[in-house]
Amino acid sequence: MNRKLFSFPGGIHPPENKLQSLNLPIQSVPLPKRLILPLQQHIGAPAKAIVNVGDQVKKGQCLAQPQGFVSASIHAPTSGAIAEIADHEIPHPSGLASLCIVLQPDGEDSWCEAQPIADYSAAKPAELVDKIRQSGITGMGGAGFPTSVKLSPPADSKIESLIINAVECEPYITADDMLMRERAAGVIEGALILNHILQTRETLIAIEDNKPDAIAAMRRAVEALSESHNSQPHNIEIVVIPTRYPSGGEKQLIQNLTGKEVPSGKPPLHVGIVVQNTATTYAIHRAINHGEPLISRIVTLTGEALNKPGNYETLLGTPIEHLLELAGIDNQQLSRLIMGGPMMGFALDSTALPVVKTTNCLLAATNTEYPEQPPAMPCIRCGACAEACPASLLPQQLLWFSMGGELDKAEQYNVADCIECGACSYVCPSHIPLVQYYRATKGELAQRRADLIQSDHARDRFEFREERLAKEKAEKDAKRKARAEAAAKAQAAKKAAAALEAKEGGATKDSSDAKPPSDKEDVVAAALARVEAKKKAKADAAAKTQQQESS
Amino acid sequence: MKLAKVTSPHLHDRSDTSHVMKMVIVATLPGLAALSWFFGWGVLINLVWAWIVALGCEAIVVKIRKRPLGYYLNDYSALVTATLLGLALPPLAPWWLTLVGVGFAIIVAKHLYGGLGSNPFNPAAVGYVVLLISFPVQMSSWLPARGVEGAIPPGFIDSLKSIFPLLGNASVDIVTQATPLDQLKQRPGLTITEIWQPGSAFGRFAGVGWEWVNIGFLIGGLFLLFRKIIYWQIPVAMLGSLTVMSIIFWGGSGSEGHGSPLFHLLSGATMLCAFFIATDPVTAATSNRGRLIYGAGIGVLIYVIRVWGSYPDAAAFAVLLLNFCAPLIDYYVQPRTYGHNSGHNSDSDRSGDS
C-alpha cells in the first residue's frame, strides 16, 4: 500500500508539542451552567432562530434553521430552557459580538427522538446530503464551510477522489489523532457514507507519520471492514504522508496525494476532488447512522498554563473558562489563549467565549512558551521565506509591496494565493510579521474591490440618471418644438389667410358689403345707434329747458 | 490578567539575523588562517582595524539617523562587511586605505542607500572597487606568499609599523610582488618551465599560498552551506560557469593559455567571492532559478575580465555588475505560484483557464 506521493514545495518542521495532550483518553465534560450558541459558526449566512426565549427544548432539537444555500442549522446540545437570544461576543478574529442563543440546561440531558437513516447504502445521495444539512454539519478543521454544499457538486462535474484530511499538521493539536485512536470505525463509516454520496473512484485517508497509533487503529478498522463487507468492496486507502507543516493544507494535501493543483480561485471540485476533515467525517457517521446532529466535538486543551492537558468531548456552546478549569488552568501563568493551533489559530481576549463547531484546540500558553516577538529587523532578502512558502510565492517581494501600499503589484505577485499558513513568518530571521502584512494587504484589496463595485454602481446610477434626465429633456423639447411648430403653422395660416384677404380685398368689397351683416356688426351698430339716440334726446331736452327758461 | 491579542503565527523559529551574520564571520576562519600563514600578521591587523573602522562608521551613521545604537550594532552586519573587505585587501595595506575603503562601504554603499537590507550593491565589493580604482598601486602591492623564493612574512611589529607608519619605521624592507594572477596578465611570455620553476609565485595548481587560501574559503563556504546559511545555487553556478569558460578558452599551459580551470578556481578571490560575497542575499537575485543565473553571470564576468580585461582580478566588478542585473533577473524568473500557469501575471492565467 505504498502510494506514490508527489510532495509539495516549501514547508517547515516546527516543534510538534503533541505528546502532552495524548496522555489521557478522551475526557467527558460535566454540563456547564449555560451554553452560548452563536448563530454564525460557519462560513455563509447566519442561521435564523426558530425558538423563543422561555421555550423548553430537548437535546438535539433544532434551534435555528439555515438561511440560504450556504448556511448551517444549530441544535440544542442538551435539554433545557432558552434563556436569552441576544448579542454576545463570539470567538472570531474580529472580536465582534453576534447574535447567540443562550441555553440554560435542565440537567436531564434528555434527547428528542432521533431519526437515523437505517441503511445509508439504500438511500439516495440527495437524501443523505439533506440529512447532513439538517444535522448542521460544517467543516470542523478550521474554516467551517457547510459540508452539504461541498457534497452538492454541479451535475456535470466528475468527482474522482475523496480525501479525508486526517493530517493534523498544526503543532499541539491532537483532537483528530485521539478521535482516530478511539473511534476509527466511526470515521471509516463516515468515509463510506461520503463515498456512497459522491461515488468516487478512490477514498484516501491521509495521516501524517507522526501519529503511528492512529494509523494502526485506522488500518485495523479498514481490515475489519474488508472482512465484514465481503460482498461490498470498498476503495478506502490509508495514506501515510511525511510530517511537514502545512501538509494538511487542503491545496497542499491535494498536490501531495494526486500531483494536481487546484487552479487559483477555484474550489477543489474543479479538479474532481472533495476533501473532508476527520472530525467532520465522524460527525457525518453520527448524523446518518445515529440521527445525532452536530452538538459536540473533541477539543484539545493544551499549553503550559494547564495542569491536565488532554482531549475533551465538549458540547458546542460550552464557555471556554469551564473547560480551562477542568483542565487545571493556572490563571497567573496564562498570557495567551489561542483557538486553533499556534501557526494559524487566533488569540482570544476572553475566556467567557463559547466553544463552536470549528474549535479544534484551545492553547493556553504562558509567557515563556510564547514570548513576545523581538522588534523586526530590516529584511535582508535571505530567501528563507521563499524556501518555506508552500504556494511558491515570493514573500519578500510581497513584503515590499505590502509595506509600500503597492496593491497592484501585490496582486500581480499573487498575494491572493497566500494560504496564510505562517511558514514565512516562522522562519524569518529578522522577525518580520510577514503573513500579518499579507493579511492586511488582502484586506485592503478586498476593500478596494468592494469600493470599486460600489463606485461602479454609483457611476451606473449616475449615468442612468443623466440619461433619464436627458431623455426627459429631449421629450420636453420635442413637445415644445411640436407645440411651437403647431403655433407657427397656425400663425402662418392666419397670415396667409390675411394676406389672401388683403389681396382679394378690392375685388370683394362690394360683395362683402352686400353680404348680410354679421351678428357682431349688428350689435355694434345697434349700440352706436342707441348712443346717437340718447345724445339726440339729451340735446332735445336741453333745448327744451332753454326755451322754457327764456320764455 | 490580560490576554495578549496578537495574530498568528504565534510560533517562531529561534534563528535571527545576527546569528546569520555571526556564522558568516565564523566561516571565514579557515581562509583567514591560510591568509595569515602565507602573508603574515598584516592580515589580522588589517582585519581588526577594518572592524574598528566599520563599527565606528556604523555608530556615527546610526547616531546621525537617530536610530537605537545597540540594536543596530548588534546585527553584526557591519562586521561582516568589514571582514570581507579586510580579507580582500593587501596584507600590508596602509591604515588610510582600509579607512577609506571600509568607510565608503559602510557610509556610502550601505547607509546612504537606506542601511541594512536596502543597499542595491554589495558594500564590501563597492569599497574594494573604490580602492582599486583610486589607489591601484597600493591595492596591487601584495607580499609574496610564504614559500615563494626568499619570502618570509614580516613579524608582528614590522607589520604593524608598515600599516601604521606613525608608529615608526619598519626594521626591514618590505618586498612586494605582483600576485600570480597579475603576473599571468602582465608577463605574457612565460613558458611552462618558467612558471613551474622552483621558487616562482606559481604553486602546484595556482599561485603559491593562494591555493590554500582558496581551499580555506571553500571549506568555510561548505560549512555555510551545511548550516543552511547560504543556498547552493549561487556558488555552484558561479564556479561552474568559471570552470566552463576556462575549459573553453584554455589554450595550453603557458601564460598565454589564460590559465587552467584549476588555476582560475584556486586563484585570487574566487572562493571568497563564490561563498561569501556573491551570496550576500541583500544584493543577489532571490528566486532559485534567479540565483543560478546570477551566479553564472558572475563566473563568466570574472573570467572575461581576468583574461581580456585590464584588471588582474575581477570578482568585485563581476559582483557589482550582476548586482545591477539582480532586480531584472528577479522580475523575469519568478517561480510559478501554486494554481497558476505562469509565475507572472495572474491575468494571463485567468484568461487561460476560463
The alpha carbon of residue B278 is apart from the nearest alpha carbon of chain A, in Å, by 13
In a domain, B47, yes or no: yes
Q: Per the domain annotation, does B234 fall within a domain?
A: no
Of A256, A257, A275, A248, nearest in space to A167 by CA = A248
d(CA A325, CA A327): 5
Q: Which residues pair with A57 in a beta bridge?
A: A80
Do B124 and B86 form a contact (C-beta atoms < 8 A)?
A: no
Please count the structural domains in chain B: 1
pLDDT number for residue B120 = 92
Please give the interface size between A and B, counted as residue pairs whose CB atoms are below 8 Å apart: 172
DSSP structure string for B241-299:
HHHHHHHHT---SSGGGT--HHHHHTSTTHHHIIIIITT-TTTS--SHHHHHHHHHHHH
In a domain, B154, yes or no: yes
Which grid cell is A45? Answer: 449566512
Specify if A317 maps to a domain: yes
Beginning with the edge strand found earlier in the chain, give each strand of the sheet holding A236-241 in spatial order. A236-241, A202-208, A161-166, A273-277
Q: Is A350 within 8 Å of B3 when comparing Cβ atoms? A: yes
Gap between the Cα atoms of A118 and A130, Å rounded: 15
Q: Are A325 and A205 in contact (CB under 8 A)?
A: no
Nearest to B337 among A379, A417, A439 (CB): A417
Q: What is the pLDDT of residue A530?
A: 86
Distance CA B32, CA B44 (A): 8
Is the residue at A424 inside a domain?
no
Domain-embedded: residue A511? no
Q: What pLDDT score was predicted for residue B146?
A: 73
Residues in chain A: 551
CB contact at 8 A, A142 and A268: no
At residue A534, the pLDDT reads 85
Residue A550, Cβ neighbours under 10 Å: how many? 6
The span from the CA of B310 to the CA of B229, in Å, is: 34
The predicted model gives A127-133 an average pLDDT of 92
Using CB atoms within 10 A of its CB, is residue A543 exposed (0-12), middle (13-18) or buried (19+)?
A: exposed
Whether A345 contacts chain B with CB within 8 A: yes
Q: What is the least distance, in Å, from the CA of B243 to any CA of chain A?
A: 27
Is A227 touching B (CB cutoff 8 A)?
A: no
Report whether pLDDT(A542) > 80.
Answer: no
* Domain assignment present for B43: yes
Is some CB atom of chain A closer than 8 A to the CB atom of B282?
yes
Distance, in angstroms, between B168 CA and closest chain A CA?
43
Helix (H) or strand (E) holding A399: helix A395-403
Whether residue A264 lies within 8 A of chain B, CB to CB, comes out as yes
Strand partners, A319: A354
Question: Does the beta carbon of A335 lie under 8 angstroms from any beta carbon of chain B?
Answer: yes
A482 touches chain B (CB under 8 A): no
CB B275 within 8 A of CB B234: no
Indicate yes or no: CB of A429 within 8 angstroms of CB of B16: yes
From A82-86, A114-118, A259-263, B77-81, the region with the lowest mean pLDDT = A114-118
Of chain A, the percentage scoring pLDDT greater than 70 comes to 94
pLDDT of residue A273: 93
Q: Which of B19, B231, B337 is opposite residue A391, by nearest beta carbon?
A: B337
Model pLDDT, residue B75: 85
The answer to whether B191 contacts chain A (CB < 8 Å) is no
pLDDT score for B205? 56
Residue A186 forms part of a structural domain: yes
A13 contact residues in B (CB cutoff 8 A): none
User: For residues B198 and B204, what is the distance between their CA atoms, to the nearest angstrom?
Assistant: 10
- pLDDT for B62-92, tens place per residue? 999 888 887 778 888 999 999 999 999 988 8
Give the separation between CA A237 and CA A355, rounded to whole angstroms: 32
Residue B36 lies in a domain: yes
A487-522 tens-digit pLDDT: 988 888 888 888 888 777 655 555 445 455 566 677
Contact B334/A at CB under 8 A: yes
A408-441 pLDDT per residue, tens = 999 989 999 999 999 999 999 889 999 999 999 9
B165 lies in some domain: yes
Who's near B276: CB < 8 A, 6+ residues apart?
Answer: B24, B27, B28, B84, B217, B220, B221, B224
Cα distance between the two ends of chain B: 53
In this structure, are residues A260 and A254 in contact, taking their beta carbons and an 8 Å threshold?
A: yes
CB of B14 less than 8 A from some CB of A: no
B116 touches A: beta carbon within 8 Å: yes
Q: Is B118 at the interface with chain A, CB within 8 A?
A: yes
Asked if residue A59 lies in contact with residue A109, where contact means CB atoms within 8 angstroms, the answer is yes
Select from A394, A403, A418, A424 the residue whose CB has the most chain B CBs within 10 Å, as the one to mutate to test that interface. A394
At a CB cut-off of 8 Å and minimum separation 6, what does A437 contact?
A398, A399, A402, A403
Is the bond preceding residue B261 a cis peptide, omega within 30 degrees?
Answer: no
Please judge whether A334 and B1 are an interchain contact, meaning their C-beta atoms are less than 8 angstroms apart.
Answer: yes
The pLDDT value given to residue B347: 43
User: Distance from B1 to chain A by nearest Cα, in Å?
Assistant: 7
Higher pLDDT, A328 or A537: A328
Q: What is the pLDDT of residue B170?
A: 62
Ordered mean pLDDT values, 10 residues apiece, chain B (354 residues): 79 84 93 90 91 94 86 86 92 91 94 90 94 87 70 75 74 63 60 52 63 92 91 94 89 65 84 93 89 95 87 86 92 87 50 36
Range of the domain at A314: 19-365
Please give the pLDDT value at position B61: 92
Q: Quick check: is B238 in a domain? A: no
The Cα B220–Cα B207 span in angstroms is 20
* Cβ contact B286–A397 (<8 Å): yes
Alpha helix (H) ranges present in A199-238?
A: 212-228
**pLDDT tens column, A243-259:** 999 999 999 999 999 99
Which three three-digit cell numbers place residue A301? Answer: 486543551
Q: Which residue of A has its CA nearest to B19?
A: A429
- Closest chain B C-alpha to A188 CA, distance in angstroms: 31
pLDDT tens readout for residues A217-247: 999 999 888 777 555 678 899 999 999 999 9
Residue A174's contacts (CB-CB under 8 Å, 6 or more residues apart) are A18, A21, A22, A168, A300, A302, A311
Chain B residues within an 8 Å CB radius of A436: 7
CB-based contact B338 A381, cutoff 8 Å: no
Query: How far is the alpha carbon of A416 from chain B, nearest alpha carbon, in Å?
Result: 10
Q: Hey, is the C-beta of B137 within 8 angstroms of any chain A C-beta? A: no
Q: What's A343's domain CATH number? A: 3.40.50.11540
- Confidence (pLDDT) at B130: 94
Residue A69 located in a structural domain: yes
Tell me if chain B has a CB within 8 Å of the CB of A261: yes
A381 with B282: Cβ contact below 8 A:
yes
Q: What is the pLDDT of residue B308?
A: 86
Structural domains counted in chain A: 1
Q: What CA–CA distance (Å, rounded) separates B111 from A271?
A: 51
ipTM for this model: 0.80
Could you report how far apart the first and last alpha carbons of chain A are, in Å? 162
